Amino acid sequence: MLDQLAQHAAQQLRAGFDDYNDRFRAITQRARARFERREWALMQADLVERIELYDRCVAEASAALLATLREHAGERALWLRIKPAFEQAIRGLLDGELYQTYYNTLTRRFFKTRGVDADIEFVALRIEPTDRITHPVARHSYSVGDSLADSLDRLLEDYPFEVPYADRRADAAALALDLERRLTHWGERPIRAIEMLETVFYRERRAYLVGRIFGADRYAPIVIALNHHADGGIGVDAVLTERDDVAVLFGITRSYFLADFETVGDAVVFLKTLLPRKAVDEWYSMLGRLKQAKTERYRHFFRHFEQSPECFVHAPGAKGMVMAVFTLPDYPLVFKVIRDHFAPPKTVARQDVMNKYQLVFKHDRAGRLIDAQEFRHLRFPRSRFAPTVLEELLGGCRESVVADGDDVVLLHCYVERRLRPLNLLVMEDAPAIARRAILDYGQAIKDLATCNVFPGDLLLKNFGVTRHGRAIFYDYDELCLVSECRFRDLPKAQNIDEEMHHGAWFHVDEHDVFPEQFPQFLGLSADDRAALLVTHSEIFTASWWRSLQDRFRAGDPPEIAPYPEALRLR
């Protein structure tokens, strides 16, 4: 009887993932029409709907399984039969890893597993699943003859839209000229062949054609960015061929793409050839396969953890009032755990902090907010924590961390890529490097404001710097929407009593912000502060912020390109 029930449950589980995947792809497939109709707000709404879809489908599948399994739902003996039956049901599928992750999600909900239960879950820490994929993802290939412009024109012709190109031939000629200029170091006739994914990538207000260009003895990524002007049709806006530029476009500080692939694993294999250093889990994230991204991050980290002798230590940077943050020195991730109590002047509650992370999770991140993954029930040996870290976690984070025998279980945490704290960089690096970082910090505030995000706490310690030199905000407990703030000019004292008053002599509401005061609290040298004020003077005036609010209210938000101005076609 149990064997029959297991077979039935296995087929139901496979059908459950198929249903989720079909719905995921249906949402993703709307992106083309959104781009053609310039429905930018609806495209963002689709992205949020797709993020929320997984938990909704898992809840539906859980209820259906309970109805099928009834009193046997919590019996390990049954799940020991379901696992091999499910493995057989998905054997040979290219995206078998995604099915297994879905299965694991359901078992963990049924058994409330802390750590890993290898008997009833799929666990494979010592293999890279994409290494087994040899199936080629669908792509277009072009042999480049004497005229690169002709080849690029054929390429653009293979990506038709309901809205025509404004001037496809002119775009192809401009692309050819730009590529030949950039790749002169590749020699005469630098590009011999082009290979492009058939799938178009969509995000925010652009569509992207993604592939590789080949020379006589080398290759490089190529990303062609298309925009859709209200009055001029579709056109090529930019082309990216440097790996650093492509890495920023596909980076951990960007929103996820809407890109519809028949199967995902083979797409990840191809994409990884464009940026070999980029982790597999980050490619899954960029394609919106967020649960699989968590599985791959977990897999890769624990494979390293088993081989490393190092202990968790406090992460570099200032001690946080809201989060306890720790890391392995030889691995580029940080773990963030919410404290039980927050020191003054923090007034937020635990749920407020979690809501801020959810906001970031679903919002346009403008390339300036780091992607955080939420994990529950991670189990580590107690011996792998430095004593000071263990004392902090078990003493001040008891709502998130518990001791379980010789182990420590993180009931709830956020995991992010580790960045260099901006305040440490400014103190430790050469003045010229520090100055560049400070000026990019100012640009980061502008970029965030443009996508309706106000960081709240602008101290340098709340920003990190990527290996590409970009300033990124990563402390979310005071983050809010620009549209929610009241930006005020600093009142002028009317008499000596007001001028000499300790603290604010005027009334300040909860959402009041005084941009003129920002520079006073940054701890910059006089020269660095002056450079910041000269380059980014707007962000220190209430009128600039109010003008942004006016645009948001009018439904005409500003836009920032996700690549440098120098890469745009002239």
User: Which residues form the catalytic set?
Assistant: 371
> If you ran DSSP here, which 8-state letter would residue 511 be given?
T
DSSP structure string for 195-244: EEESSPEEETTEEEEEEEEE-SS-EEEEEEEEEEETTTEEEEEEEE-SHH
Cα distances (angstroms) measured from residue 345 to each of 167, 322, 457:
57, 11, 12
Cα distances (angstroms) measured from residue 186 to each of 13, 115, 217, 219, 367:
52, 51, 9, 10, 31
Contact 130, 272 (CB under 8 A): yes
Rounded Cα distance between 108 and 294, Å, is 14
Helix, strand, coil percent values for the chain (each to nearest 5) = 50, 15, 35
- Provide the 3-class DSSP secondary structure of residue 246: helix
- Provide the 3-class DSSP secondary structure of residue 393: helix
Strand partners, 512: 486
Q: Which of 196, 161, 168 is nearest to 32 (CA)?
A: 161
> If you ran DSSP here, which 8-state letter would residue 92 be given?
T
Q: Which residues contact 510 (CB under 8 A, 6 or more apart)?
A: none
Q: Which residues contact 486 (CB under 8 A, 6 or more apart)?
A: 509, 511, 512, 513
Please give the order of strands across the beta sheet that includes 407-410: 378-381, 407-410, 401-404
The tokens for 227 are: 């925009």
